[in-house]
Structure 1
Protein backbone atom coordinates (compact mmCIF):
# COMPACT_ATOMS: atom_id res chain seq x y z
CA UNK A 1 0.00 0.00 0.00
CA UNK A 2 0.95 3.61 -0.25
CA UNK A 3 2.16 6.30 2.07
CA UNK A 4 0.08 7.16 5.13
CA UNK A 5 -1.88 10.41 5.01
CA UNK A 6 -1.56 12.47 8.19
CA UNK A 7 -5.03 12.77 9.64
CA UNK A 8 -6.33 15.93 11.28
CA UNK A 9 -7.97 15.54 14.72
CA UNK A 10 -11.43 15.75 13.11
CA UNK A 11 -10.73 12.40 11.44
CA UNK A 12 -10.13 10.59 14.75
CA UNK A 13 -13.41 8.95 15.67
CA UNK A 14 -14.98 5.73 16.85
CA UNK A 15 -18.60 4.86 16.06
CA UNK A 16 -20.89 2.19 17.42
CA UNK A 17 -23.41 0.51 15.14
CA UNK A 18 -27.02 -0.15 15.88
CA UNK A 19 -27.62 -3.50 17.55
CA UNK A 20 -28.86 -6.65 15.90
CA UNK A 21 -30.19 -9.73 17.63
CA UNK A 22 -29.18 -12.85 15.74
CA UNK A 23 -32.43 -14.75 15.53
CA UNK A 24 -32.84 -18.46 15.03
CA UNK A 25 -33.84 -17.67 11.43
CA UNK A 26 -30.72 -15.53 10.83
CA UNK A 27 -28.53 -18.28 12.25
CA UNK A 28 -30.12 -21.04 10.17
CA UNK A 29 -30.14 -18.99 6.98
CA UNK A 30 -26.46 -18.05 7.20
CA UNK A 31 -25.43 -21.59 8.19
CA UNK A 32 -27.28 -23.07 5.20
CA UNK A 33 -26.24 -20.33 2.78
CA UNK A 34 -22.54 -20.86 3.52
CA UNK A 35 -22.76 -24.67 3.67
CA UNK A 36 -21.17 -24.72 7.13
CA UNK A 37 -23.03 -27.88 8.01
CA UNK A 38 -20.76 -29.30 10.71
CA UNK A 39 -22.69 -30.40 13.78
CA UNK A 40 -21.04 -27.63 15.81
CA UNK A 41 -23.26 -25.29 13.74
CA UNK A 42 -26.32 -27.48 13.13
CA UNK A 43 -26.96 -29.94 15.99
CA UNK A 44 -28.63 -28.21 18.92
CA UNK A 45 -28.97 -31.41 20.97
CA UNK A 46 -25.30 -32.38 20.59
CA UNK A 47 -24.07 -28.87 21.33
CA UNK A 48 -26.28 -28.55 24.44
CA UNK A 49 -23.78 -30.85 26.20
CA UNK A 50 -20.74 -28.90 24.92
CA UNK A 51 -18.86 -26.30 27.01
CA UNK A 52 -20.65 -23.54 25.04
CA UNK A 53 -24.07 -25.11 25.57
CA UNK A 54 -25.34 -24.10 22.12
CA UNK A 55 -24.52 -24.14 18.43
CA UNK A 56 -21.85 -21.67 17.29
CA UNK A 57 -22.04 -19.49 14.21
CA UNK A 58 -19.25 -20.11 11.69
CA UNK A 59 -16.57 -17.44 11.32
CA UNK A 60 -17.51 -16.52 7.74
CA UNK A 61 -21.05 -15.79 8.93
CA UNK A 62 -19.79 -13.74 11.87
CA UNK A 63 -17.80 -11.57 9.43
CA UNK A 64 -20.83 -11.14 7.18
CA UNK A 65 -22.94 -9.91 10.11
CA UNK A 66 -20.11 -7.61 11.21
CA UNK A 67 -19.78 -6.04 7.76
CA UNK A 68 -23.54 -5.55 7.60
CA UNK A 69 -23.42 -3.57 10.83
CA UNK A 70 -20.14 -1.71 10.28
CA UNK A 71 -20.60 -0.05 6.90
CA UNK A 72 -23.86 1.78 7.75
CA UNK A 73 -22.30 2.92 11.05
CA UNK A 74 -19.13 4.44 9.63
CA UNK A 75 -20.34 5.64 6.21
CA UNK A 76 -22.16 8.78 7.49
CA UNK A 77 -19.12 9.76 9.57
CA UNK A 78 -16.80 9.43 6.58
CA UNK A 79 -19.21 11.25 4.25
CA UNK A 80 -19.44 14.13 6.75
CA UNK A 81 -15.66 14.45 6.33
CA UNK A 82 -15.98 14.36 2.52
CA UNK A 83 -14.73 10.76 2.14
CA UNK A 84 -16.77 8.58 -0.24
CA UNK A 85 -16.54 4.79 0.14
CA UNK A 86 -16.11 2.88 -3.13
CA UNK A 87 -15.40 -0.81 -2.41
CA UNK A 88 -14.25 -3.23 0.26
CA UNK A 89 -10.57 -4.13 -0.20
CA UNK A 90 -10.16 -6.75 2.51
CA UNK A 91 -9.89 -7.89 6.10
CA UNK A 92 -6.62 -8.28 8.01
CA UNK A 93 -5.76 -9.75 11.38
CA UNK A 94 -9.14 -11.44 11.85
CA UNK A 95 -9.43 -12.99 15.30
CA UNK A 96 -12.45 -14.78 16.72
CA UNK A 97 -12.37 -14.15 20.47
CA UNK A 98 -15.65 -15.68 21.65
CA UNK A 99 -18.51 -17.61 20.01
CA UNK A 100 -21.64 -16.05 18.54
CA UNK A 101 -24.80 -18.02 19.29
CA UNK A 102 -28.46 -17.72 18.30
CA UNK A 103 -30.11 -15.05 20.43
CA UNK A 104 -26.98 -12.92 20.89
CA UNK A 105 -27.36 -9.20 20.22
CA UNK A 106 -24.29 -7.76 18.54
CA UNK A 107 -22.79 -4.33 17.80
CA UNK A 108 -19.71 -3.15 15.93
CA UNK A 109 -17.36 -0.48 17.20
CA UNK A 110 -15.37 0.98 14.27
CA UNK A 111 -12.36 3.23 14.76
CA UNK A 112 -10.80 5.07 11.84
CA UNK A 113 -7.21 3.90 11.98
CA UNK A 114 -5.50 5.29 8.88
CA UNK A 115 -5.75 6.51 5.30
CA UNK A 116 -3.18 5.43 2.74
CA UNK A 117 -2.49 7.04 -0.62
CA UNK A 118 -2.91 4.91 -3.73
CA UNK A 119 -1.23 5.25 -7.11
CA UNK A 120 -4.44 6.80 -8.47
CA UNK A 121 -5.23 10.07 -6.65
CA UNK A 122 -7.72 11.09 -5.31
CA UNK A 123 -8.23 7.45 -4.34
CA UNK A 124 -7.06 6.26 -0.93
CA UNK A 125 -7.50 3.20 1.27
CA UNK A 126 -9.23 3.74 4.58
CA UNK A 127 -8.42 1.29 7.39
CA UNK A 128 -10.81 0.78 10.28
CA UNK A 129 -10.24 -1.27 13.41
CA UNK A 130 -13.51 -3.10 14.04
CA UNK A 131 -14.61 -4.90 17.19
CA UNK A 132 -17.74 -7.06 17.26
CA UNK A 133 -19.28 -7.03 20.75
CA UNK A 134 -22.31 -8.64 22.29
CA UNK A 135 -24.80 -6.81 24.52
CA UNK A 136 -22.77 -7.72 27.62
CA UNK A 137 -19.59 -6.16 26.17
CA UNK A 138 -17.97 -9.51 25.37
CA UNK A 139 -15.57 -9.18 22.42
CA UNK A 140 -16.55 -11.72 19.77
CA UNK A 141 -14.29 -10.76 16.87
CA UNK A 142 -11.66 -8.17 15.95
CA UNK A 143 -10.15 -7.26 12.59
CA UNK A 144 -8.92 -4.41 10.41
CA UNK A 145 -11.21 -3.58 7.49
CA UNK A 146 -9.82 -1.79 4.43
CA UNK A 147 -11.88 0.00 1.81
CA UNK A 148 -11.08 1.96 -1.30
CA UNK A 149 -12.39 5.51 -1.05
CA UNK A 150 -12.41 8.86 -2.84
CA UNK A 151 -10.94 11.74 -0.81
CA UNK A 152 -11.35 14.45 -3.49
CA UNK A 153 -13.86 16.35 -1.37
CA UNK A 154 -11.64 16.56 1.70
CA UNK A 155 -8.90 18.76 3.13
CA UNK A 156 -6.60 15.75 2.67
CA UNK A 157 -6.48 16.12 -1.11
CA UNK A 158 -5.49 19.16 -3.17
CA UNK A 159 -4.78 17.58 -6.58
CA UNK A 160 -6.93 17.35 -9.71
CA UNK A 161 -10.30 15.65 -9.70
CA UNK A 162 -10.84 12.39 -11.61
Structure 2
Protein backbone atom coordinates (compact mmCIF):
# COMPACT_ATOMS: atom_id res chain seq x y z
CA UNK A 1 0.00 0.00 0.00
CA UNK A 2 1.35 3.41 -0.97
CA UNK A 3 2.38 5.77 1.82
CA UNK A 4 2.26 8.80 -0.47
CA UNK A 5 -0.32 11.14 1.05
CA UNK A 6 -1.36 13.14 -1.98
CA UNK A 7 -4.82 14.11 -0.70
CA UNK A 8 -8.12 13.80 -2.52
CA UNK A 9 -8.63 15.23 -6.00
CA UNK A 10 -12.01 16.19 -7.37
CA UNK A 11 -12.73 12.81 -8.96
CA UNK A 12 -12.14 11.06 -5.61
CA UNK A 13 -15.20 12.62 -3.98
CA UNK A 14 -18.72 11.21 -3.94
CA UNK A 15 -21.92 12.77 -2.60
CA UNK A 16 -22.64 11.20 0.78
CA UNK A 17 -18.97 10.44 1.51
CA UNK A 18 -18.22 10.87 5.21
CA UNK A 19 -14.79 11.72 6.53
CA UNK A 20 -13.52 11.68 10.10
CA UNK A 21 -10.53 14.00 10.10
CA UNK A 22 -7.28 13.07 11.79
CA UNK A 23 -5.54 14.46 14.88
CA UNK A 24 -8.03 16.14 17.20
CA UNK A 25 -6.59 19.38 18.55
CA UNK A 26 -6.50 20.76 22.09
CA UNK A 27 -6.58 24.55 22.12
CA UNK A 28 -4.66 26.46 24.80
CA UNK A 29 -3.96 29.94 26.10
CA UNK A 30 -0.85 29.87 23.95
CA UNK A 31 -3.01 29.55 20.84
CA UNK A 32 -5.03 32.55 21.99
CA UNK A 33 -1.91 34.66 22.51
CA UNK A 34 -0.53 33.79 19.10
CA UNK A 35 -3.89 34.55 17.49
CA UNK A 36 -3.92 38.01 19.10
CA UNK A 37 -0.33 38.56 17.99
CA UNK A 38 -1.20 37.71 14.39
CA UNK A 39 -4.48 39.61 14.14
CA UNK A 40 -4.38 42.39 16.73
CA UNK A 41 -7.80 41.28 17.99
CA UNK A 42 -9.26 43.37 20.82
CA UNK A 43 -12.43 41.39 21.44
CA UNK A 44 -13.46 42.12 25.02
CA UNK A 45 -14.29 38.55 26.03
CA UNK A 46 -11.05 37.24 24.55
CA UNK A 47 -8.75 39.94 25.87
CA UNK A 48 -8.79 39.45 29.66
CA UNK A 49 -10.04 36.94 32.21
CA UNK A 50 -11.26 39.80 34.37
CA UNK A 51 -13.38 41.05 31.46
CA UNK A 52 -14.99 37.64 30.99
CA UNK A 53 -15.76 37.28 34.70
CA UNK A 54 -17.24 40.77 34.87
CA UNK A 55 -19.53 39.82 31.99
CA UNK A 56 -20.70 36.62 33.67
CA UNK A 57 -18.29 33.96 32.35
CA UNK A 58 -16.45 31.67 34.76
CA UNK A 59 -13.77 31.00 32.15
CA UNK A 60 -12.62 33.25 29.30
CA UNK A 61 -13.85 31.68 26.02
CA UNK A 62 -11.63 31.44 22.96
CA UNK A 63 -12.31 33.72 20.01
CA UNK A 64 -14.87 32.43 17.57
CA UNK A 65 -12.66 32.68 14.48
CA UNK A 66 -9.74 31.01 16.24
CA UNK A 67 -12.07 28.08 16.83
CA UNK A 68 -13.43 28.23 13.28
CA UNK A 69 -10.01 28.36 11.63
CA UNK A 70 -8.65 25.54 13.81
CA UNK A 71 -11.61 23.30 12.99
CA UNK A 72 -11.34 24.28 9.32
CA UNK A 73 -7.66 23.29 9.33
CA UNK A 74 -8.56 19.76 10.42
CA UNK A 75 -10.54 19.31 7.19
CA UNK A 76 -7.84 20.49 4.77
CA UNK A 77 -5.81 17.26 4.29
CA UNK A 78 -8.97 15.42 3.20
CA UNK A 79 -10.96 18.18 1.47
CA UNK A 80 -8.76 20.96 0.16
CA UNK A 81 -5.13 19.85 0.09
CA UNK A 82 -5.35 20.12 -3.70
CA UNK A 83 -7.59 23.17 -3.76
CA UNK A 84 -7.41 25.97 -6.27
CA UNK A 85 -9.23 28.20 -3.79
CA UNK A 86 -11.80 28.12 -1.02
CA UNK A 87 -14.86 29.83 -2.48
CA UNK A 88 -17.44 30.45 0.19
CA UNK A 89 -19.36 29.57 3.35
CA UNK A 90 -22.97 29.16 4.43
CA UNK A 91 -24.94 28.14 7.52
CA UNK A 92 -22.03 28.58 9.92
CA UNK A 93 -23.31 28.32 13.49
CA UNK A 94 -21.24 28.80 16.64
CA UNK A 95 -23.19 26.40 18.81
CA UNK A 96 -21.32 26.58 22.12
CA UNK A 97 -18.32 28.39 23.60
CA UNK A 98 -14.90 26.73 23.39
CA UNK A 99 -12.47 27.18 26.28
CA UNK A 100 -8.73 26.65 26.71
CA UNK A 101 -8.18 22.94 27.32
CA UNK A 102 -11.04 21.86 25.06
CA UNK A 103 -10.21 19.34 22.34
CA UNK A 104 -11.82 19.67 18.91
CA UNK A 105 -12.53 16.73 16.60
CA UNK A 106 -14.09 17.29 13.18
CA UNK A 107 -16.19 15.20 10.79
CA UNK A 108 -17.35 16.11 7.28
CA UNK A 109 -19.98 14.92 4.79
CA UNK A 110 -19.75 15.67 1.06
CA UNK A 111 -23.10 17.21 0.10
CA UNK A 112 -22.48 18.30 -3.51
CA UNK A 113 -20.17 18.13 -6.52
CA UNK A 114 -19.93 20.07 -9.78
CA UNK A 115 -17.20 19.64 -12.39
CA UNK A 116 -16.01 22.83 -14.06
CA UNK A 117 -16.42 23.19 -17.81
CA UNK A 118 -12.64 23.21 -18.29
CA UNK A 119 -12.59 19.70 -16.76
CA UNK A 120 -9.40 20.65 -14.95
CA UNK A 121 -11.14 21.10 -11.58
CA UNK A 122 -14.49 20.97 -9.83
CA UNK A 123 -16.36 22.40 -6.88
CA UNK A 124 -16.84 20.26 -3.78
CA UNK A 125 -19.59 21.18 -1.28
CA UNK A 126 -19.21 19.87 2.28
CA UNK A 127 -20.76 20.19 5.72
CA UNK A 128 -18.38 19.89 8.65
CA UNK A 129 -19.08 19.65 12.37
CA UNK A 130 -16.63 20.17 15.24
CA UNK A 131 -17.25 18.55 18.61
CA UNK A 132 -15.48 18.96 21.92
CA UNK A 133 -14.16 16.20 24.20
CA UNK A 134 -17.66 15.75 25.64
CA UNK A 135 -19.02 14.91 22.16
CA UNK A 136 -20.89 18.23 22.20
CA UNK A 137 -21.20 19.98 18.83
CA UNK A 138 -19.64 23.43 19.14
CA UNK A 139 -19.51 24.50 15.48
CA UNK A 140 -21.05 23.48 12.17
CA UNK A 141 -20.54 24.94 8.71
CA UNK A 142 -20.98 24.45 4.97
CA UNK A 143 -18.25 25.47 2.56
CA UNK A 144 -17.49 24.98 -1.11
CA UNK A 145 -14.03 24.71 -2.54
CA UNK A 146 -12.57 24.40 -6.03
CA UNK A 147 -10.35 21.32 -6.21
CA UNK A 148 -7.93 20.23 -8.94
CA UNK A 149 -8.52 17.00 -10.83
CA UNK A 150 -5.78 14.42 -10.87
CA UNK A 151 -6.70 13.41 -14.42
CA UNK A 152 -8.38 15.97 -16.66
CA UNK A 153 -10.05 13.16 -18.63
CA UNK A 154 -11.39 11.32 -15.59
CA UNK A 155 -15.15 10.79 -15.52
CA UNK A 156 -16.94 12.50 -12.65
CA UNK A 157 -20.33 11.98 -11.02
CA UNK A 158 -23.34 13.87 -12.30
CA UNK A 159 -23.42 17.39 -10.92
CA UNK A 160 -25.35 17.95 -7.71
CA UNK A 161 -25.41 21.46 -6.27
CA UNK A 162 -27.04 21.35 -2.82
CA UNK A 163 -29.60 23.97 -1.81
CA UNK A 164 -27.96 26.43 0.54
CA UNK A 165 -29.83 28.73 2.94
CA UNK A 166 -29.46 32.44 2.29
CA UNK A 167 -29.02 32.99 5.99
CA UNK A 168 -29.23 31.30 9.36
CA UNK A 169 -32.82 31.72 10.51
CA UNK A 170 -33.33 33.71 13.69
CA UNK A 171 -34.92 30.67 15.29
CA UNK A 172 -31.78 28.65 14.55
CA UNK A 173 -29.35 31.15 16.04
CA UNK A 174 -27.54 29.71 19.08
CA UNK A 175 -28.84 30.91 22.42
CA UNK A 176 -26.20 31.56 25.07
CA UNK A 177 -27.14 32.17 28.73
CA UNK A 178 -26.09 35.80 28.93
CA UNK A 179 -27.03 37.54 32.17
CA UNK A 180 -27.54 41.21 33.02
CA UNK A 181 -23.80 41.52 33.72
CA UNK A 182 -23.14 41.79 29.97
CA UNK A 183 -24.23 45.43 30.06
CA UNK A 184 -21.02 46.17 31.96
CA UNK A 185 -19.17 45.78 28.67
CA UNK A 186 -19.48 49.54 28.14
CA UNK A 187 -17.25 50.17 31.16
CA UNK A 188 -14.63 47.88 29.61
CA UNK A 189 -14.67 49.37 26.11
CA UNK A 190 -15.39 52.99 27.00
CA UNK A 191 -18.07 53.02 24.27
CA UNK A 192 -21.76 53.43 25.08
CA UNK A 193 -23.29 52.08 21.84
CA UNK A 194 -25.39 48.96 22.43
CA UNK A 195 -27.82 46.91 20.33
CA UNK A 196 -30.51 49.57 20.55
CA UNK A 197 -28.20 52.21 19.02
CA UNK A 198 -27.67 50.48 15.66
CA UNK A 199 -30.04 50.99 12.75
CA UNK A 200 -30.63 48.81 9.70
CA UNK A 201 -28.91 50.45 6.74
CA UNK A 202 -26.27 52.13 8.89
CA UNK A 203 -22.73 52.05 7.45
CA UNK A 204 -19.49 51.99 9.44
CA UNK A 205 -16.14 52.67 7.77
CA UNK A 206 -13.59 51.10 10.09
CA UNK A 207 -10.56 53.39 10.46
CA UNK A 208 -7.79 50.80 10.74
CA UNK A 209 -5.74 49.18 7.99
CA UNK A 210 -3.33 46.27 8.13
CA UNK A 211 -0.62 45.24 5.69
CA UNK A 212 -0.06 41.51 5.35
CA UNK A 213 3.35 39.94 5.03
CA UNK A 214 4.56 36.48 4.16
CA UNK A 215 5.73 35.57 7.65
CA UNK A 216 2.46 36.47 9.38
CA UNK A 217 0.15 34.68 6.99
CA UNK A 218 2.43 31.64 6.95
CA UNK A 219 2.50 31.46 10.75
CA UNK A 220 -1.27 31.95 10.94
CA UNK A 221 -1.91 29.12 8.49
CA UNK A 222 0.45 26.84 10.39
CA UNK A 223 -1.30 27.76 13.65
CA UNK A 224 -4.45 26.23 12.18
CA UNK A 225 -2.53 23.21 10.81
CA UNK A 226 -3.88 24.10 7.39
CA UNK A 227 -1.69 22.21 4.89
CA UNK A 228 -3.24 23.47 1.63
CA UNK A 229 -0.56 23.81 -1.04
CA UNK A 230 -1.85 27.18 -2.22
CA UNK A 231 -0.63 28.78 1.02
CA UNK A 232 2.82 27.20 1.23
CA UNK A 233 4.00 25.84 -2.13
CA UNK A 234 5.01 28.70 -4.43
CA UNK A 235 5.70 26.28 -7.27
CA UNK A 236 2.11 25.06 -7.13
CA UNK A 237 0.62 28.54 -6.87
CA UNK A 238 0.16 29.06 -10.59
CA UNK A 239 -3.21 30.77 -10.08
CA UNK A 240 -1.41 33.71 -8.48
CA UNK A 241 1.60 33.82 -10.79
CA UNK A 242 3.74 31.72 -8.48
CA UNK A 243 2.85 33.64 -5.30
CA UNK A 244 1.25 31.92 -2.36
CA UNK A 245 -2.32 32.85 -1.51
CA UNK A 246 -3.14 34.21 1.94
CA UNK A 247 -5.51 31.77 3.65
CA UNK A 248 -9.01 33.23 3.52
CA UNK A 249 -9.62 32.48 7.19
CA UNK A 250 -6.69 34.72 8.09
CA UNK A 251 -8.24 37.48 5.98
CA UNK A 252 -11.51 37.00 7.89
CA UNK A 253 -9.70 37.19 11.24
CA UNK A 254 -7.77 40.33 10.30
CA UNK A 255 -10.91 42.07 9.10
CA UNK A 256 -12.91 41.02 12.16
CA UNK A 257 -10.16 42.58 14.28
CA UNK A 258 -10.21 45.78 12.19
CA UNK A 259 -13.99 45.95 12.57
CA UNK A 260 -13.67 46.28 16.35
CA UNK A 261 -13.74 50.07 15.95
CA UNK A 262 -17.43 50.80 15.54
CA UNK A 263 -18.68 47.46 16.90
CA UNK A 264 -16.75 47.47 20.18
CA UNK A 265 -19.50 45.98 22.34
CA UNK A 266 -20.02 42.79 20.36
CA UNK A 267 -20.06 39.71 22.59
CA UNK A 268 -19.80 36.71 20.28
CA UNK A 269 -20.41 35.66 16.70
CA UNK A 270 -23.61 33.64 16.52
CA UNK A 271 -23.47 32.73 12.84
CA UNK A 272 -21.93 33.35 9.46
CA UNK A 273 -24.84 33.51 7.06
CA UNK A 274 -22.79 33.59 3.89
CA UNK A 275 -19.32 34.52 2.80
CA UNK A 276 -17.14 34.57 -0.26
CA UNK A 277 -13.48 35.21 -0.98
CA UNK A 278 -14.03 37.42 -3.99
CA UNK A 279 -10.45 38.01 -5.13
CA UNK A 280 -7.12 36.65 -3.91
CA UNK A 281 -5.11 38.30 -1.15
CA UNK A 282 -1.32 38.22 -1.39
CA UNK A 283 1.52 39.26 0.90
CA UNK A 284 2.07 42.99 0.58
CA UNK A 285 -1.63 43.81 0.32
CA UNK A 286 -3.10 46.22 2.86
CA UNK A 287 -6.60 45.38 4.07
CA UNK A 288 -9.39 47.75 5.08
CA UNK A 289 -13.06 47.05 5.69
CA UNK A 290 -16.48 48.60 6.03
CA UNK A 291 -19.68 47.24 7.54
CA UNK A 292 -23.38 47.80 7.00
CA UNK A 293 -26.13 46.72 9.39
CA UNK A 294 -28.52 44.54 7.39
CA UNK A 295 -30.71 43.15 10.15
CA UNK A 296 -31.64 43.65 13.78
CA UNK A 297 -33.33 40.86 15.73
CA UNK A 298 -34.83 40.65 19.17
CA UNK A 299 -33.95 37.19 20.45
CA UNK A 300 -36.60 37.28 23.15
CA UNK A 301 -33.86 37.90 25.69
CA UNK A 302 -33.88 40.86 28.07
CA UNK A 303 -30.11 41.12 27.97
CA UNK A 304 -28.91 40.68 24.37
CA UNK A 305 -30.08 41.17 20.81
CA UNK A 306 -28.65 40.11 17.47
CA UNK A 307 -27.24 42.29 14.71
CA UNK A 308 -26.80 40.97 11.19
CA UNK A 309 -23.81 42.63 9.57
CA UNK A 310 -22.32 42.68 6.08
CA UNK A 311 -18.60 43.34 6.11
CA UNK A 312 -16.70 43.96 2.90
CA UNK A 313 -12.92 43.95 2.91
CA UNK A 314 -10.78 45.54 0.22
CA UNK A 315 -7.08 45.67 -0.54
CA UNK A 316 -4.92 48.73 -1.20
CA UNK A 317 -7.73 51.35 -1.10
CA UNK A 318 -9.47 53.52 1.49
CA UNK A 319 -12.41 52.03 3.41
CA UNK A 320 -14.61 54.95 2.33
CA UNK A 321 -14.22 53.87 -1.31
CA UNK A 322 -15.75 50.43 -0.72
CA UNK A 323 -18.98 49.89 -2.64
CA UNK A 324 -21.56 47.43 -1.34
CA UNK A 325 -23.00 45.69 -4.42
CA UNK A 326 -26.69 44.87 -4.47
CA UNK A 327 -27.28 41.22 -3.61
CA UNK A 328 -30.84 41.18 -4.89
CA UNK A 329 -30.08 40.09 -8.44
CA UNK A 330 -28.00 36.99 -7.79
CA UNK A 331 -24.28 37.03 -7.28
CA UNK A 332 -23.08 40.61 -6.63
CA UNK A 333 -20.55 42.19 -8.98
CA UNK A 334 -17.46 43.19 -7.00
CA UNK A 335 -14.54 45.30 -8.11
CA UNK A 336 -11.13 43.64 -8.33
CA UNK A 337 -9.93 45.25 -5.10
CA UNK A 338 -12.63 43.51 -3.00
CA UNK A 339 -11.29 40.37 -1.29
CA UNK A 340 -14.04 39.37 1.17
CA UNK A 341 -17.80 39.73 1.41
CA UNK A 342 -18.94 38.36 4.77
CA UNK A 343 -22.49 38.24 6.11
CA UNK A 344 -22.52 37.39 9.82
CA UNK A 345 -24.60 37.77 12.97
CA UNK A 346 -23.38 38.87 16.40
CA UNK A 347 -24.80 39.09 19.90
CA UNK A 348 -24.68 42.50 21.60
CA UNK A 349 -26.05 43.69 24.98
CA UNK A 350 -29.30 45.64 25.00
CA UNK A 351 -29.92 48.81 26.97
CA UNK A 352 -32.60 46.96 28.90
CA UNK A 353 -29.77 44.93 30.45
CA UNK A 354 -28.41 48.10 32.02
CA UNK A 355 -31.76 48.73 33.69
CA UNK A 356 -32.00 45.18 35.08
CA UNK A 357 -28.67 45.15 36.87
Say whether residues 1:21 and 2:26 are aligned partners.
yes
Equivalent position of 1:134 in the other structure:
132
**1:23/1:8 CA distance change after superposition, 3 Å:** closer
Contact 2:14–2:110 under 8 Å retained in 1? no
Distance in structure 1 (CA, Å) of the matches to 2:86 and 2:27: 24
Distance in structure 2 (CA, Å) of the matches to 1:148 and 1:19: 25
Which one has the largest radius of gyration? 2
- Structural mapping, 1:18-57, within 5 Å: 18-48=23-53, 50-57=55-62
Distance in structure 2 (CA, Å) of the matches to 1:87 and 1:8: 19
- 1:12 is displaced (CA, Å) by 2.0
Distance in structure 1 (CA, Å) of the matches to 2:49 and 2:34: 15
- Structural mapping, 1:102-141, within 5 Å: 102-141=100-139
- 1:124 is displaced (CA, Å) by 1.1
Say whether residues 1:71 and 2:76 are aligned partners.
yes
Q: Which runs of 4+ in 1 moved over 6 A?
A: none
Say whether residues 1:156 and 2:156 are aligned partners.
yes
Structure 2 unaligned spans of 5+: 1-10, 158-357
Contact 1:93–1:143 under 8 Å retained in 2? yes
- 1:143 is displaced (CA, Å) by 0.6
More strand by share: 1
SS at match of 2:100: coil
Pairwise CA RMSD:
2.6
- Structural mapping, 1:87-98, within 5 Å: 87-98=85-96
Say whether residues 1:62 and 2:60 are aligned partners.
no
Distance in structure 1 (CA, Å) of the matches to 2:138 and 2:17: 24
Query: Which of residues 135, 138, 144 is equivalent to 2:142?
Result: 144
Equivalent position of 1:160 in the other structure:
none
State the TM-score, normalized to the length of structure 2: 0.36
Distance in structure 1 (CA, Å) of the matches to 2:120 and 2:26: 38
Contact 1:22–1:102 under 8 Å retained in 2? yes
Distance in structure 2 (CA, Å) of the matches to 1:69 and 1:16: 6
